Structure 1
């Protein structure tokens, strides 16, 4: 069965469930959005309707006097006149009037046209300020623009890009309502006109580990001028990744003042990033020095925050990876493996664990769960002799995944617990070192791993709540080795949940939330556990640098025809909603509301909900 056939089959199964649980109307609306997106044009799909823009102008006329002024900083350098004209037009077309545009021109003598155009606009509109400057590089030029700015907030915009018409409206209104020091929006890439965007970049809410790996914030970023001044503006030493460096330092300063502070994400496409040969929107290969500058920015961020690790090139250009220094001495990791018969699977798991794992300080606790094959007992007897620091403990009672793991925890001595399925096989030797390194970072309570099916397609790359109405796996069935959506298959990042098939958790955190919920016997116990850990203030991190095979079958068969299993799943669905709230489950902060809840591949929602 092909991957596309599997997805279609899953989609129809979801459609039946959605119709049963939420009614034919909801299903019809979702289907209409899907077919509209799939078969009809995408012209101007991220732009608000004209009536919406008119309503914004009317609201801004009444309220903008109470909103902050945003100074847009734009250094010019040999800008193609056509690009500059489009940029200036996009700023002057804003639906809110409370903006200032600061243009600093470092163009050489052979490119006088950008300055002439800018001066003409400045003469016509007092909100546009133009200065000719010497070229000190992008960071120094931006700082020169900031020194001229009069707004309460600053925004960064490139000379060859365009603002969405509602950019200032959405930003200034949100900043006035929340008092945020720093906000960022979604963006889209275009070649000729924003009315025909190539693709949208739909971002998560603030995700600190993801931001260290790649500058996902980019545009449009708006922040208090006083905050910018407090960190000393942009640093020429990081030219090429100066914005990435700036964002890390702005957030560090915010959190120095208030540890709970974080940037505000506005899930609207407010910025259009032009794709052309010299633009970093087309990939950092256009500017190779960007990667070295980004690694310096992250390394300096680690030094400023007292964290210790080596910043390495990531798996794809434009990404970084922090190889964390492990605690000394290495903390003990207790690996809990529930098992019932299937000794071949368990042997593959244990052999790979002991043959490949370079992290030395671990113990293994096999939790026997009602095996019926006499050969299993003989196999268990040999485990302590064959595998150092491994033992078997006997659980009695009906199958309950949560209760089995909670039982196993009683025998664990480690400061970390690793929940591991018995059908998992280690691939890379430093997998556990990578997970311990991530989980030992301040504020991180749980770390998950990359799991592949035996055919080298993705089984698990983090869990997104709300997919299919409850939860689903990021990039499921995607081929191994890809970068994924916005590098989300290739970078360490934040998630709301990870699978308990391979889940590392601080033992103190496990105990503080009272382990797994034993009322969730099979489904969603890992999702519920992670959400409770997240609600307790800890972060959940996933790393692609811990790679394992999960020998779970892709076609395990459906439980839909078994009335008892059907009733159990329905009860566990209901409990997930009851404990965490349906809206909280459906709105994952690490998954953008403009992305589909029907698929696991980060495609745009059929109706682009919340964008219009």
Structure 2
């Protein structure tokens, strides 16, 4: 065994010789990993009939300090500072996570699904090493090679499978595409959960630890996703994506939850794995189908996945795989059909590729009860006015719409129908639109709830053409509450909640209503395609809303506000409107 492990170490050194991690003739990653093994690492335990001890000695997992430092290195100085304070893992951290992981009550086996094809060996080696470095030890890696012709790729896979029993490799005789290989890898998996990892990417050493930790808090979870960033051509981290909590309508605009994605295997089996007709966007199609079967979705607000840029990757060149975006349109079209929604899908040409406009067929104008109220009435009469207007509306109209009289639209009825159209989606109870002023500056493109009770309006004051972080101002997405002078609500939701709650006099009543609706399972949607103009800049800023309402709101919702806005990542700032990193967050 010692001889074979030394051979394994020598092989990995050879494959990694050109890496930036190779210093002065000594491979800092694998020297220690395979050179001095004296004790048995019992990582394979029989559990639920899935795992048995396979070897007398297993390769050690713990990465050394130099590798951890390299994996925490960024191209961007500001992001590097954030990583250092919030995301840097030391060897001591790793050991503590391993100690906790082995004591978890639930230790589900996680099967890593990785299709390969002529993969650059340095990238593939780092991909594999990132899995081997997991602080959570209960995993297996299922690699399906899709007919590679590269002798280096094949040699690396054979040697890896020969010396690490946790890694299974299937060699397909011919190249049939990523979907075929992915399904083959899924077929090899014996784990209860599947984690998808592209062959040239890497994951954080803490990735599966946090996945397992989430499952130990709630074992009913079916889907778990995390934040991610990108790897430059130098292998350094940048272009972070801190995602919101589970946002079903944002998923209509982009595959925002992709990387890291972990599914319960039984759910993937239920929907038939990935479908070859959506090659290139098979992951998008998969999540759209899975989400029709479950609501047990959990977001981990940590960067656990690192998506690599390369010349043949959409991470670097978004036009390199045009077929992938066409497949994305097709996946959304099929999703609409399955959900009995009528509409069209197209890419948004003004944004980075992979952002989509789903335009649902709007209801008849006869189904929308529109109410206009002048903007200059006293704020302490807001609740009285809106309740009076809605109570007097026709009970036959299923959609209520409120808009300040000072707001205009180039095609008002088209804007109203756009808002009402999203109320046809199951689970959506409230919809709001985009507001800009006479100078084409953003007034409203979604609000964020803060612990002081005064909402933050993202990108307020920015040029209306600015798409923002995660295209927040330019795509349909979920938000916690609508703008008080621009919202539509389902009549049955309004009636079931009894309208605005007692105790409020001003606009905070709208936020309270939305949070009560959320507790009943109804979501709020922002659509920038219902755009309004405030030519006289008559909308009163949130800082001037009645103070007594702020006090009442805080008394009622303090616990909810302390936990943060569901649709705003905790790693983003609440001090500015630009959705920048929050450098005050500490490890």
CA shift at 1:328, angstroms?
5.3
Corresponding residue for 2:59?
none
Contact 1:470 1:586 in 2 (8 A): no
Please report the TM-score for the alignment, with normalisation by the length of structure 2: 0.80
Q: Which residue of 1 aligns with 2:88?
A: 47
1:577 matched to 2:554? The reply is yes
1:596 aligned onto 2:573: yes
**Residue 312 of structure 2 is aligned with which of 278, 281, 302?**
278
Matches within 5 A, 1:27-426: 41-42=81-82, 44=84, 46-63=87-104, 66-109=106-149, 111-133=150-172, 134-179=174-219, 180-191=221-232, 196-254=236-294, 261-282=295-316, 284-315=318-349, 316=351, 317-327=353-363, 330-338=366-374, 340=376, 399-413=380-394, 414-426=397-409
- TM-score (normalised: structure 1): 0.77
Give the conservation status (yes or no) of the 8 Å contact 2:401–2:416. no
Higher helix share: 1
Please tell me whether residue 509 in structure 1 is matched to residue 509 in structure 2.
no
Sort the Cα spacing of 1:487 and 1:177 in 2 relative to 1 into closer, same or farther, 3 A: same
**Pair 1:551 & 2:535 matched:** yes
Are the counterparts in 2 of residues 468 and 598 from structure 1 also a CA contact under 8 Å?
no
Is the alpha carbon distance of 1:536 and 1:227 closer, same or farther for their aligned partners in structure 2, counting shifts above 3 Å? closer
Q: Displacement, 1:62?
A: 3.0
CA distance in 1, matches of 2:257, 2:374: 41
CA distance in 2: counterparts of 1:428 and 1:213, whole angstroms? 23
- What residue in structure 1 maps to residue 441 of structure 2? 457
Indicate conservation of the 8 Å contact 1:447/1:543, yes or no: yes
Q: Quote the Cα distance in structure 2 between the aligned partners of 1:594 and 1:422.
A: 37
Q: Tell me the secondary structure at the aligned position of residue 424 of structure 1.
A: coil
Equivalent position of 1:386 in the other structure? none
Cα pair distance change 1:503/1:523, threshold 3 Å: closer
Partners of 1:424 and 1:439 lie apart in 2 by 21
Aligned mates of 2:442, 2:110 — CA distance in 1:
43
Q: 1:472: which partner in 2?
A: 456
Alignment of 1:421-436 (within 5 A): 421-428=404-411, 430-436=414-420
Conserved 8 A contact 2:233-2:310: no
Q: CA deviation at 1:558?
A: 11
Provide the secondary structure at the position in 2 that maps to 1:139.
Answer: helix
> Does 581-590 or 86-95 show the bigger shift?
581-590
Cα 1:412–1:140 shift into 2, 3 Å: same
Q: Distance in 2 between matches of 1:198 and 1:508?
A: 46
Residues 84 and 212 from structure 1, CA distance in 2 versus in 1: closer, same or farther, beyond 3 angstroms? same
Per the alignment, do residues 63 and 416 of structure 1 end up closer, same or farther by CA in structure 2, a change over 3 Å counting? closer
- The Cα offsets for residues 7-36 of structure 1, whole Å up to 9 and x where unpaired, read as xxxxxxxxxxxxxxxxxxxxxxxxxxxxxx
Following superposition, the deviation at residue 529 of structure 1 comes to 2.2
Distance 1:79 1:301 in 2: 32
Q: CA deviation at 1:546?
A: 0.6
Cross-structure match for 1:534: 518
Counterpart Cα distance in 2 of 1:483 and 1:554? 24
Q: Aligned partners of 2:526 and 2:317: how far apart in 1? A: 24
Q: 1:339 to 1:212 in 2, by over 3 A?
A: closer
Contact between 1:461 and 1:542, CA under 8 Å: does it hold in 2? yes
For 2:79 and 2:343, the matched residues in 1 are separated by: 48
Pair 1:149–1:600, CA change in 2 (3 A):
same
Structure 2 distance, partners of 1:456, 1:146, is 50
CA drift at 1:512: 2.5
Distance 1:453 1:332 in 2: 26
Q: Which runs of 5+ in 1 are unaligned?
A: 1-36, 255-260, 341-368, 371-397, 560-564
- Indicate conservation of the 8 Å contact 1:220/1:270, yes or no: yes
1:201-257 Cα shifts (integer Å, max 9, x gaps): 111111111011100011111112111111110011001110010011112123xxx
What residue number does 2:9 align with?
Answer: none
Q: CA RMSD in A?
A: 2.6
CA distance in 2, matches of 1:558, 1:142: 50
Structure 1 pair 473–150 and aligned structure 2 pair: CA distance change class (3 A): same
Taking the aligned partners of 1:475 and 1:329, their CA distance within structure 2 comes to: 32
Q: 1:357-389, CA deviations, whole angstroms, 9 ceiling, x for partnerless residues?
A: xxxxxxxxxxxx58xxxxxxxxxxxxxxxxxxx
Residues 114/148 of structure 1: CA separation in 2 closer, same or farther (3 Å cut): same
Instruction: Find the aligned partners of 1:120 and 1:171 in 2 and give their Cα distance.
Output: 29
Cα distance between partner residues in 2 of 1:510 and 1:557: 25
Shift of 1:523: 4.5
Contact 2:374 2:404 in 1 (8 A): yes
2:477 counterpart (458, 481, 493) = 493
Residue in 2 that maps onto 1:395: none
Q: Secondary structure at the match of 1:198?
A: strand
Rounded Cα–Cα distance in structure 2 between residues aligned with 1:105 and 1:463: 46
CA distance in 2, matches of 1:267, 1:237: 32
Q: CA deviation at 1:497?
A: 0.5
SS of the residue corresponding to residue 289 of structure 2 reads helix
- Give, in angstroms, the shift of residue 330 of structure 1: 4.2
* Cα displacement (A) at 1:147: 0.9
Contact 2:201/2:307 (<8 A) preserved = yes
CA–CA separation in structure 1 for the residues paired with 2:471 and 2:515:
24
